[in-house]
Structure 1
Amino acid sequence: MSGAQDDVVGCRPGHHFFDIDGREVEMPHVNIKYFPVALSETQESVLLQKVTDAVTTAFGVDEGVVSISLEPVEKDQWTERVYRPEIVNRTDVLRKVPNY
């Protein structure tokens, strides 16, 4: 499949990516942190496709430029590794607030 990823030729200072015509290409990255749970290959594939679909629709980019990481975080480390640093301390970028 040909798309924006195939046309990306490099990174310039400031980590801006450009296609072969010199147009800046958006590089959305999504990091999903969650309590460890075993996902089947099908569950993971469906999750990744749905997130990819949402990101490509929202940002108007080709799916080839979207990256997604799945990062399990143990329950006893959640407050220290996720809740405080990314939810409590980053309200300026938090777009969906949890109800806990």
Structure 2
Amino acid sequence: MPHVDIKYFPRDLTPEQRQAFADDIAEVVIKHLASKPESVSVALQQVQPDNWKSQVWETEIAPNIETLARKPGYSM
């Protein structure tokens, strides 16, 4: 039951673009984890740049930096 939670700076995406993005992410998960399409969920959450440090960096990235499969090329 993979769940992908993507946080990103705001973008002017149409509902169709958001759906295409989520579908593409789900496709990769299905391919690499041999998941069933109906078991994959994708959340897309916009985070304001001014809130990135407190809402994402300090709570999700920095505390887990050693276990991230892909580390960011920046630090805060």
Q: Same fold (TM over 0.5)?
A: yes
TM-score, with length taken from structure 1: 0.67
Q: Which position in structure 2 is the counterpart of 1:60?
A: 34
Q: Aligned-pair distance for 1:59?
A: 1.1
Query: Identity over the aligned pairs, expressed in percent?
Result: 32
Which runs of 4 or more aligned residues in structure 1 lie more than 3 Å from their structure 2 counterparts after TM superposition? Answer: none
Of residues 59, 62, 73, the one that matches 1:85 is: 59
- Name the SS for the 1:71 alignment partner: strand
Q: Aligned-pair distance for 1:44?
A: 1.4
Larger mean CA deviation between 49-58 and 87-96 belongs to 87-96
Richer in helix (by share): 2
Q: Aligned-pair distance for 1:95?
A: 1.1
Q: Which position in structure 2 is the counterpart of 1:95?
A: 69
Q: Within 5 A, what are the aligned runs for 1:30-41?
A: 30-41=4-15
Of residues 17, 25, 40, the one that matches 1:51 is: 25
Q: Which runs of 5+ in 1 are unaligned?
A: 1-26
Richer in strand (by share): 1
Q: Which runs of 5+ in 2 are unaligned?
A: none
TM-score, with length taken from structure 2: 0.86
Aligned length: 74
Structure number with bigger Rg? 1
Pick 1 or 2: higher relative contact order, CA cutoff 8 A, min separation 6: 2
**For residues 94 and 39 of structure 1, what CA distance do their matches in structure 2 show?**
27
CA RMSD after TM alignment: 1.2
